[in-house]
Amino acid sequence: MTKHPGLSICVPMTIPFFDVDAMHIVWHGHYVKYLEIARCALLDKLGYNYDAMRAAGYVWPIVTMQLKYVRPAVFGQQVLVDAHIREWESRLRIVYVITDAASGERLTQAETTQVAVLLENREMQFDTPQDWQDIIRRAMQSEA
């Protein structure tokens, strides 16, 4: 699948002291937070963040998450968290790559999958809501 710039974002971060262990290496659980920061920035960019989803009558829980740690991130390191929407029609699948900002070296790669759940009855939807699909189409057209 082609990577569409309108469906991607790159978020710069500096690894804070409170995210590292005694060896100054990021504790593995904090990577989930970095993914969430990038995901929220991407959804904000599209104008369909968690508040907008809820206002439309849906919540979007994460149903799967995969992380592959390639190299450790360390205290004070400048990193880039790239997030890209890979699927959007029946679920929201976002792929991530965390790289060292200076060298471009890959540190972590990840993927999350979310599904639309109708708030009124808590039923999972087999297709994503039409308003979400419209937002994706507009984002793809605006880059052309």
Structural domains for the chain: 5-143 (3.10.129.10)
Task: Please give the Cα distance from 94 to 66 (Å, whole number).
Answer: 11
* Cα 94 to Cα 117: distance, rounded to the nearest angstrom: 17
pLDDT one-digit tens code per residue, 2-38: 577 789 999 999 999 999 999 999 999 999 999 999 9
Pair 119, 56: CB distance under 8 Å: no
Tokens 């809820």 locate to 54
Phi, psi of 120 (to 5 degrees): -65, -30
Position 1 confidence tier, pLDDT thresholds 50, 70, 90: very low
- pLDDT for 83 equals 98
Phi-psi domain of 31 (left: phi exceeds 0; alpha: psi -120 through 50; beta: other): alpha
Q: Which of 103-107, 122-126, 136-140 has the lowest mean pLDDT?
A: 136-140
The helix/strand/coil state of 49 is coil
59 or 1, greater pLDDT: 59
